[in-house]
A and B are shown apart, each in its own frame.
Chain A
Amino acid sequence: DAKTTQPPSMDCAEGRAANLPCNHSTISGNEYVYWYRQIHSQGPQYIIHGLKNNETNEMASLIITEDRKSSTLILPHATLRDTAVYYCIVRANRDNYGQNFVFGPGTRLSVLP
């Protein structure tokens, strides 16, 4: 089972920041938070990941709360091409066996003109 909870859908106006929340209240100390997105039926696209510090790259920012029980993915200036299903995944990176990604239903983000 997925260890995360996300809203099933969200809307965002084009040009505005999109803030996608994710709850992972049972996260363990060695588990990272990963974000992926899937545009229509294309292959999922890696966005960003982090352990406890906030992270930023050319696509997005990841804000993780101090207790690590929730996080927010921020797309600073959403465009129509950001319309996709966004997946938040928690995953441990402590051994070489048996670790795989569990994709939940995600959040369907619609960017509106």
Chain B
Amino acid sequence: DSGVTQTPKHLITATGQRVTLRCSPRSGDLSVYWYQQSLDQGLQFLIQYYNGEERAKGNILERFSAQQFPDLHSELNLSSLELGDSALYFCASSVEIATGRDQQYFGPGTRLTVT
């Protein structure tokens, strides 16, 4: 158990809908990362927050957005869902960034199925 929690574990929704995935980082971790893993793409970095501020963006679509709240939990919002958005979505957290102590601890993931 990494200490990172993600809800829900599974989500089934229809095309065109909007969903919110939630992540609680490990106690004391200030940085949160979101990743997408689909069958044909591998793990793709989406976005990173540090203490409420966006710090890095990867291959995140404009239909997707995220935020980190004052209590440090984070939410990933996916809208206008398409079949190709079906994937595992992982959240990770780290104590610090850019110090050699930023190893990331991953949550169990949310499996999103768009029908």
Taken residue by residue from 30 to 59, chain B's Cβ proximity to chain A (1 for < 8 Å, 0 otherwise) reads as 000101000000111100101000011010
How many whole Å from B8's CB to the nearest CB in chain A?
15
Q: Is B17 an interface residue (CB 8 A)?
A: no
**In this complex, which of A32, A44, A51, A103 has the most chain B Cβ atoms within 10 angstroms of its Cβ?**
A44
Residues facing A in B82-107 (CB within 8 A) are 88, 90, 92, 97-100, 102-107
Contact: A43 with B90, CB < 8 Å?
A: yes
Main secondary structure of the interface of A (DSSP, over half): loop
- Report B-chain residues with C-beta under 8 Å of the C-beta of A44: 43, 90, 92, 104, 106
- Cα distance, A93 to B106, chains bound together (Å): 19
Contact: B102 with A93, CB < 8 Å?
A: yes
A43 with B109, Cβ < 8 A, contacts A97-B56, A100-B58 known: yes
Q: Is B4 an interface residue (CB 8 A)?
A: yes
Chain A residue with minimal CB distance to B99?
A93
Contact: B106 with A51, CB < 8 Å?
A: no
Count residues of chain B with CB under 8 A from any CB of chain A: 29
Count residues of chain A with CB under 8 A from any CB of chain B: 25
How many whole Å from A87's CB to the nearest CB in chain B?
8
Contact: B100 with A41, CB < 8 Å?
A: no
Which residue of B35, B48, B100, B106 contacts A45 across the interface (Cβ within 8 Å)? B106
Contact: A45 with B2, CB < 8 Å?
A: yes
- Report B-chain residues with C-beta under 8 Å of the C-beta of A103: 35, 42-45
A93 with B45, Cβ < 8 A, contacts A43-B2, A43-B109, A45-B2 known: no
Binding site for B on A (CB under 8 A): 32, 34, 38, 41-46, 49, 51, 87, 93-105
Could you give 21 example pairs across A and B, Cβ below 8 Å?
A34-B103, A43-B108, A43-B109, A44-B92, A45-B106, A49-B100, A93-B98, A95-B98, A96-B55, A96-B97, A97-B55, A98-B55, A99-B97, A99-B98, A100-B45, A100-B58, A101-B45, A102-B45, A103-B35, A103-B45, A104-B42
